[in-house]
Amino acid sequence: MTKVFIAGSRKISKLSVEVRQRLDEIVAKSLPVVIGDASGVDKSVQQYLHAKGYRAVEVFCSGTRCRNNVGGWPTVEVAVNSSRRDFDFYATKDVRMSDEASFGLMIWDGESAGTLMNVLRLINRNKSVVVFEAPKGRFRELKEESEWNSFFSECSDEVRGRIEKLSTSDSKVATPVQASLL
């Protein structure tokens, strides 16, 4: 069954009209949603879907305790090999959602490395991703590596540097970003 991985930046706590319309389309199509438990986009989307009475949601948590599960939906607790609550700790659940989803909807603040790592993971798994670029108020659909490369080349030097570093240290990303840019 088609599942949508929805994620985004922790700095975004208010969903735009455009994002809410996309969520309404997902609800209208009764598509199952996999989502994380972070504050920001995860929690805001959870609140929106809960207000709609939408039940086809699974909340993924790293470790044994979810930080947010607004709708009391079923949870998937992803085992983590570390007790340090760092980037890798929370990325473990993101990897699992990337594996389980059919495609992604990412709401990006123009800076979040975690959101872009999810985009990269999905692209590397040959899955489409719709990215809402909040600062520009627009959606971008990325289906293949060339579209990722174009999108990535438009990112700031700082963001590109963080993603390049994370992708080479993240064994859960099929191909480091540098190799895909050559």
**Residue 49 clears pLDDT 90, i.e. is over it:** yes
Give the model's pLDDT for residue 176.
46
Q: What distance in Å separates the CA atoms of residue 117 and residue 100, rounded to the nearest whole number?
A: 16
**What backbone phi and psi angles, to 5 degrees, belong to 160?**
-60, -40
- If pLDDT is split at 50, 70 and 90, which confidence band does 86 have? low
Rounded mean pLDDT, 63-70 = 89
Report which of residues 179 and 74 the model is more confident about: 74
pTM for the structure as a whole: 0.89
In the chain, the percentage of residues whose pLDDT exceeds 90 is 74
Give the model's pLDDT for residue 84.
66
Give the model's pLDDT for residue 89.
67
Question: Mean pLDDT across the chain, nearest whole number?
Answer: 89
Can you say how many angstroms the Cα of residue 150 is from the centroid of all Cα atoms in its chain? 19
Q: Which residues partner with 33 through β-bridges?
A: 4, 57
Give the model's pLDDT for residue 92.
82
Task: State the CATH number of the domain containing residue 52.
Answer: 3.40.50
Rounded mean pLDDT, 103-129 = 95
Q: How many domains does the chain have?
A: 1
**Residue 160 clears pLDDT 80, i.e. is over it:** yes
Minimal CA–CA distance to 26: which of 105, 95, 94?
105
Instruction: With beta carbons less than 8 A apart as the criterion, state whether 149 and 49 touch.
Output: no
Q: Which of 98-102, 122-126, 134-138, 164-168 bottoms out in mean pLDDT, i.e. has the lowest?
A: 164-168
- If pLDDT is split at 50, 70 and 90, which confidence band does 87 have? low
Using only the alpha carbons of the chain, give its radius of gyration: 15
Residue numbers of the domain that contains 68: 4-181
**Residue 104 clears pLDDT 90, i.e. is over it:** yes
**Residue 173 clears pLDDT 50, i.e. is over it:** no
**Residue 2 clears pLDDT 60, i.e. is over it:** yes
Q: What distance in Å separates the CA atoms of residue 167 and residue 9, rounded to the nearest whole number?
A: 18
Give the model's pLDDT for residue 72.
96
Q: 113-124 vs 145-153: helix axis angle to the nearest 10?
A: 160
Q: What distance in Å separates the CA atoms of residue 15 and residue 41, rounded to the nearest whole number?
A: 8
Report which of residues 181 and 101 the model is more confident about: 101
Give the model's pLDDT for residue 52.
97
- Show the 3-state SS of the chain: CCCEEEEECCCCCCCCHHHHHHHHHHHHCCCCEEECCCCCHHHHHHHHHHHCCCCCEEEEEECCCCCCCCCCCCEEEECCCCCCCCHHHHHHHHHHHHHHCCEEEEEECCCCHHHHHHHHHHHHCCCCEEEEECCCCEEEEECCHHHHHHHHHCCCHHHHHHHHHHHHHCCCCCCCHHHHHC
**What backbone phi and psi angles, to 5 degrees, belong to 15?**
-85, 135
